[in-house]
Amino acid sequence: MVSRNRQESGKENLRQEIMDAARELFVAEGYASVSMRKIADKIGYSPTTIYLYFRDKSDLLHQICEQTFAHLAQNIKSIQQLSDNPLEKLRSGLREYVHFGLKNPSQYEIVFITPLPHQFESDFSESNGKVAFDTMRDVVTECVLDNLLKTKDVELISQTLWAGIHGITSILIKHEHFPFVERDKLIDNVIETLIAGTRA
């Protein structure tokens, strides 16, 4: 039942090990259904050990989310810096968002999909999640300033785009067995549809 990988993993980053194990379990079974014991079992430590690294269960979840958000925001920024064309920056940012989700499904799920207890719902606006969203909105602003879009309501456009890319990301992650058309084609079509619908 217990697979000890202390020696193997180099045991240096037990904290990260805990976060990884917890994230996967939270995604697989839901936050409320995952016990501290289950997490501990998964990494081969005692439940008590987790409390050496995290204040309590909700702190553990919180740290996981923040880490993922930071990761996402950073990726999007890096990608966007590769181009000067606002529209192209927008497109590449949207694409990176989806790819990030597909490359890190458990991280994406935990922050954007899995239903969490109410106490966590308000955290979003103060967290790195906001940073990631702001990154995208800044590019929308650029497009608006360049008169590239059919409306100047930056907030409305940004949220619309987010809804779209979150939609495709999450159904691809969650409904693995749905008979989707070819994955990249579908992603492209979603993004191009969103951009086309947003332009004149």
- Residues 6 or more apart whose Cβ sits within 8 Å of residue 61: 22, 26, 31, 110, 116, 120
Interaction of residue 35 with DNA, rule CB under 7 A: yes
Tell whether residue 5 is a contact of a copy of itself (CB under 8 A): no
Least distance to DNA, CB of residue 52, Å: 5
- In angstroms, give the least distance from the CB of 10 to a copy of itself: 25
Is 159 a binder of DNA (CB under 7 A)? no
**Interaction partner, residue 37 (DNA, a copy of itself, none; CB < 5-8 Å by kind):** DNA
Verify binding: residue 8, a copy of itself, rule CB under 8 A: no
70 binds DNA (CB under 7 A): no
Spatial contact of 23 and 110, defined as CB atoms under 8 Å apart: yes
- φ, ψ of residue 123 in degrees (nearest 5): -60, -35
Which residue's CB is nearer to a copy of itself, number 18 or number 157?
Answer: 157
